[in-house]
Amino acid sequence: MQKQTDDPIWARSGTCPTATQDVKENTENRDWTIKNFGYGPLNPEQPDPGFWEDKAKLWSTEISVAQTALCGNCAAFDQTPRMLKCITKGVNEKGTVANPENVQRYGNLGYCQLFKFKCAGSRTCDAWVYGGPIQ
């Protein structure tokens, strides 16, 4: 009898999701999510009242409550050790000098299992799901 697993197919195959290795695909998926599911805000460290007002209206709640629904605590935000290795592996794909571990850590990056891109933990989108991250 074959062992059952909840791992996604990419995890069982040992390959990384394409968007973790291909900046163009990652950016296309992220930009599509910005346009279609309100991924943002652009700079989470700066006030962006219009962005958060829109999220509060969408979810019929107060701005302060909407601001707690972040990618970093979304059930689709994948920060498993295997995924973090995929993300850091893809940082220097073209031989840049960025420190991959610092890029991942300072950006609090994970992989959005819903929209297939590297996602910053301090952002959100309209499809946020309670119960994460995946660790």
Q: Is residue 39 part of a domain?
A: yes
pLDDT of residue 1: 39
Contacts of 28 (CB under 8 A, 6+ apart): none
Q: Is residue 33 part of a domain?
A: yes
pLDDT of residue 5: 41
How many distinct structural domains can be found in the chain?
Answer: 1
pTM for the structure as a whole: 0.85
Strands in 5-134 per DSSP E: 77-78, 109-112, 117-120
pLDDT of residue 3: 36
Contacts of 1 (CB under 8 A, 6+ apart): none
pLDDT tens-place values along the chain, 135 residues long = 333 345 555 555 679 999 999 999 999 999 999 999 999 999 999 999 999 999 999 999 999 999 999 999 999 999 999 999 999 988 865 556 678 888 888 889 999 999 999 999 999 999 999 999 999
> Does residue 8 have a cis peptide bond before it, meaning omega lies within 30 degrees of 0?
no
Q: Is residue 36 part of a domain?
A: yes
pLDDT of residue 44: 94
Q: Is residue 131 part of a domain?
A: no
Q: Is residue 46 part of a domain?
A: yes
Q: Is residue 53 part of a domain?
A: yes
Q: Is residue 115 part of a domain?
A: yes
pLDDT of residue 96: 62
pLDDT of residue 13: 64
Q: Is residue 113 part of a domain?
A: yes
**Residues 88, 83: Cα–Cα separation, whole Å:** 9
* Range of the structural domain that residue 98 is part of: 16-120
pLDDT of residue 95: 58
pLDDT of residue 91: 82
**Residues 44, 122: Cα–Cα separation, whole Å:** 6
